Amino acid sequence: MNKIYFFAIALILFSAACTNKNVEFHISPSGSDDNSGTIEYPLASIHKARDMIRALDLRDRRSDIIVYLRGGTYTLKETLVLGTEDSAPEGFSVTYKAYKDEIPILSSARKIKGWNRTEATTDGLPTAARGKVWVVELPEIKEGKWFFRTLYDGDKLISRAKSEPFSPTNDLPESILKHRYRPDLRSVLHFPEGAICNWSNLEDIEIFAKRDFLGIAEVDEKNNIAALRNFATYSLGYYDGQKFKPYWVENTIEGLDEPGEWVLNSNEGKLYYWPENDNPGDNMQAPFLDELIRVEGKNVESVSGDVPVTGIHFEGISFSFTKRDVRTIDDGFIQHGWEAVDKDNGAIRFRSAKDCSIKSCKIFNTGAIGIRLDLFAQNIEISGNQLYNIGSYGIFLCGYGPGIKDVNKNNLIINNEIHDLSRLRRGSGILLWQSGLNQIKNNLIYNNVSHAITISGVRPRYFGIYDGHKWKDEYEDFKKLMDLQENMNSIRWDEVGEPQDYRDVWKFSHSRNNIVQDNEIHDVMLISGDGNAIYLSGGGLGNIIDRNLIYRFNAWAIRTDDDQDGVTMTQNIIVGKSFKLKHTLNKIENNIMINGGTGNLVIMTNSPDCSIKSNVFIDSDYFFSKNNFSPNYLDETKRIEINNNLFFEYGDSEFEQLFTEMKEMGYDKDGIYANPLFVDYMNGDLNLKDNSPLHSLGFVAIDTDKIGLYDNPAFPRLRKKGFIESIDITEILDEKYRLGM
C-alpha cells in the first residue's frame, strides 16, 4: 500500500477518534479506487472499500464502520465475498449503507450493443422471422467466459425462444408414487418425432419438463430418445388424465418464431433477438454473476467447528440482475426437488454467518433466489425489504441435513414485501428447510404461482420408516428406487443411527418451533395443483401458524402434509378452502374461515390426536370433505377432538342441514349454528359484540390490525374499499401466470 493510502486511512481514523464518530468510507459511481474514500474523494467500487477496511489495524477495527454508497449503478465484475477477516469485532459493526436518500444499485448486468439485422438465409430461422431478427457477436460467449439464460430490455424480462409444447411418447406405470423416482424414467425422455434434434450447440439447449430445466447429453433421432445431463425431479412420461403438455425445448433457432424472443449460441458466440419494436434499442442487458454478495465463514462437516462471519449489515441498497442457475447431477435437493442444498444461486447469500442483517433493501430481477441463508445462519435479520421479479424463491433458509448438527436458527424475517416470484421456475416466497426457531412476521407475499411460505424437512420414509396409510404394499418397491438426489444425500447418516419410527426422526427435524405470524398472503398458488399458501411437511414439532390473513388462492390455505406433526394453527383468517389436515398432534383452534366452497376443511385418514376447536365457519358448502364420509374415515376421525365450533351461512345454502347431519354422526357435540355477531362483518371489523355466542365457545377475538406490513397493515387498507369486496375469491387463475409449471 502506498503512502497516499496510509495517509488517507490515518486521517479517517484520526478524525473519528477526535469526534467520537464512526469510521466512514464513501464510494460513488463517479469515484476512483485511487481516491482516499472520503466524501470529497470517494472510491469507485465496493470491493476497494472492503479491502481498505481489511487494511486497518485490528485496534482501529474496534469502531462501527460505515461504507456509504452514493446513488447510481455499480456494475460488479465479480461477487463481493466477505469472509471471517471482514467480521466486525464483538460489540461493533460493519455496515454497507445507502447515503441519505440516494439509491445505489449493485448489479451484474452487462449492456449488449452492436446489433445488426440478420440475413434472411440464416440456417434454421423460421420463415416468419426472416428479415426481422437482429444479431450481436459476443466474444466472451464463444470463449466460454460467459453464458446467460435470461435477457432483459431494461427491467423487462424477455422470453427465450421455445418450441411448441409436447407430451412424452412413453406411458408411465399406473402408480405414479411407486415409480416416481426410477432413474431410467428421470434421465431419459421419449419425445415425438422432430421435437428434439441433435443440434450442433446441444450444450446450450434445455428441455423444460413439468418444473425442471434439463440439459441434453445426446439425442437418438432414429428412436426419438434424449439422454439428459441431469435427473428430473419426477419420472418423465405421459399418463392417463394428464391435462397439459408441460414439456418444451428452449433456446433453438428453430423456436425463434415470435417477436420478443431470443436465442444464444455459444458455438457461434452470437445472440439472436426478434424485437417487438423495429430494433433492439439501447437497454438490452444480461446478467454476468450467480451471486452479487456472499458473506461466507468457515463451514465444517463435524458437529461443531463452524466459524461464522459476524456483524456485517446492508441497508438501503438495491441488488439486481443475477443469472439463472443450472441443475446438475451433483446437486443434492430438498423435498420434491424444489431447490438445491448449499448452492451459489442467491443474489445475496449468507453462508456461515451470525448477527448480520439486510434491511430496507430492494432485490429484483434475479435469475434464481433473492436471499439465501445456508448452513450455519443465526441471528440474521431480514427486515423492511422489497423482493420482486424473482426467478424462483424470495428467501431460502437451508440448514445442514438431518443429524445432530442444528445451526440454522433464530433468524428474523419481518416486514418484507415479496411479490412476483417464480418467473423462471416454481418457488415459495419464504422457504425454511432444516431451519428452526425463526420468526416469519408481518410480511406481505403475493403474485406467485406456488406457495407463499413453506416449512420442510426430510420425511421419515427416507430413513426407512413409512406411513402405512399412504404407501401400503408399494413401499418395498419404493425403497429399491429411493432417490439419491432428493434428501438422501443430505442425511448425516453417522449421526442419525437407525430410527425405528417417525417419532425417532423428530430430533433430527430441525425446522421446528418456527413462528409464522401476522403475514398477509394473497394471489398465490395461481396455478392450481399440489400446493398451498402455507405448506408444512416433515418439518419438526412446535411450529406455530398464528394470525395470518390468507385470501385469493387455489388449493388450501394451510396444509400439514406427510409427516408434519405438532403444528398449532390459531387466529388465522382465511377466505377460501382453509385447512388440509394430515398427521398427528396438530391443532386448528380459534380461526375464522370464510367461504370455503367445496372443502372448507379436509381431514386425511392418518390424522389422529389432533384438535379442531373454537373455530368459526362462515358461508361454506360443507365442513368436512364429502369424499371422506366413509366408515374408515369416520372411525379415524373419532380420534380427533372436534368441538365448540360455530357455523353460519349469511346467504341461502344447505350449510345448516349439513351441520345437523354432522351432529347426528356424533361430531362437535357442543358446536352451534348461529350468527357470530361480529361488530361489522362486511367491513372487516371482526371484534365480537357483547352478546356474541362465540364468547361461550371459548373463542377469543382476533386483533386484526396487527396483520400485514407495519406501514400498510392489511385490514385498515382493505376496509377502505370494503373488506368483503376486497377479498373476493372469484376465479383467480390468470393466463399470464400459466408458465406451464
Kindly state the average pLDDT of the residues 489-510.
90
What are the pLDDT digits (tens) for 703-736? 999 999 999 999 999 988 777 777 765 444 333 3
Q: Provide mean pLDDT across the span 136-141.
A: 97
Quote the pLDDT of residue 613.
94
So what's the pLDDT on residue 186?
86
Which whole number is the average pLDDT over 499-516?
92
Q: How far is CA 268 from CA 136, 143, 503, 616, 691, in A?
A: 10, 10, 57, 64, 77
Q: Is the pLDDT of residue 241 over 70?
A: no
- φ, ψ for residue 480 (rounded to 5)? -65, -25
- The pLDDT of 82-94, averaged and rounded, is 96
Q: Is the pLDDT of residue 122 over 60?
A: yes
pLDDT tens-digit map of 253-276: 999 999 999 999 999 999 999 999
Enter the DSSP assignment of 485.
Answer: T
Chain centroid offset of residue 521 CA: 14
Give every CB contact of residue 468 below 8 A, 6+ residues apart in sequence. none
3-state secondary structure of 24: strand
Q: Which amino acid type is present at position 138?
A: L
pLDDT of residue 513: 98
Q: Which residues pair with 117 in a beta bridge?
A: 134
Please name the residues in contact with 189: beta carbons below 8 A apart, sequence gap of 6 or more.
168, 196, 207, 209, 214, 225, 226, 228, 236, 247
- Residue ranges of E strands in 379-519: 381-383, 386-388, 395-398, 408-409, 412-414, 417-419, 430-433, 439-441, 444-446, 453-456, 515-517
Query: CA-to-CA distance for 60 and 52, rounded, in angstroms?
Result: 12
Three cell numbers, residue 179: 415409480
Taking residues 211-237, report their average pLDDT: 91
pLDDT of residue 121: 75
The answer to which of 331-335, 509-513, 645-649, 720-724 has the lowest mean pLDDT is 720-724
Q: Where are the alpha helices (DSSP H) in 63-123?
A: none
Of the listed ranges 100-104, 560-564, 712-716, the one predicted with least confidence:
560-564
Which residues are within 8 A (CB) of 343 and not within 5 positions of it... i.e. 6 or more apart?
Answer: 325, 331
Q: Which of 617, 623, 669, 676 is nearest to 647 (CA)?
A: 617
Residue 676 class from Cβ within 10 Å (0-12 exposed, 13-18 middle, 19+ buried)?
buried
Can you tell me the mean pLDDT for 481-510? 84
Backbone angles phi, psi at 695, to 5 degrees: -60, -40
- Can you read off the three cell numbers belonging to residue 668? 362437535
Write the pLDDT tens digit of every residue in 576-619.
888 888 888 999 999 999 876 545 677 765 677 889 999 998 87
pLDDT, residue 313, reads 98
Range 202-221 average pLDDT:
93
Tell me the H-state helices in 400-559: 468-471, 475-480, 493-496, 502-505
Q: Is the pLDDT of residue 385 over 60?
A: yes
Average predicted confidence (pLDDT) for the chain: 87
pLDDT on residue 739: 34
* Strand partners of residue 372: 349, 396
- The secondary structure of 549-602 as a DSSP string is EEEEESSEEEEE-TT----EEES-EEESS-EEE-SSS-EEES-EEEEEES-SEE
pLDDT at 735: 36
Reported pTM: 0.93
pLDDT at 662: 76
Distance CA 353, CA 373 (A): 8
**What's the average model confidence in pLDDT over 105-134?**
92
pLDDT score recorded for residue 135: 96
pLDDT band at 327 (very low <50, low <70, confident <90, very high): confident
Which pLDDT band holds residue 624 (cuts at 50, 70, 90)?
Answer: low
Phi, psi angle pair for 647, to nearest 5°: -125, 140
pLDDT for the residue numbered 537: 95
CB atoms within 10 A of CB 164: 11
CA 581/CA 561 separation, integer angstroms? 7
pLDDT at 630: 47
Q: Specify the 3-state DSSP secondary structure of 195.
A: coil
Q: Which residue has the higher pLDDT, 263 or 681?
A: 263
Across 686-702, b (16+ Cβ under 10 Å) vs e yields bebeeebbbeebebeeb
Each domain of the chain, given as residue ranges in start order, spans: 1-65, 109-161+254-287, 183-250, 463-506, 528-741
Tens digits of per-residue pLDDT, 148-193?
999 999 999 999 999 999 989 888 776 556 667 777 888 999 999 9
Position 17 confidence tier, pLDDT thresholds 50, 70, 90: very low
Quick one: DSSP state of residue 91? T
628 pLDDT above the threshold of 80:
no
Over residues 21-41, the pLDDT tens digits come to 689 999 999 999 999 999 999
pLDDT at residue 20, as a whole number: 46
| pLDDT attached to residue 728 | 65
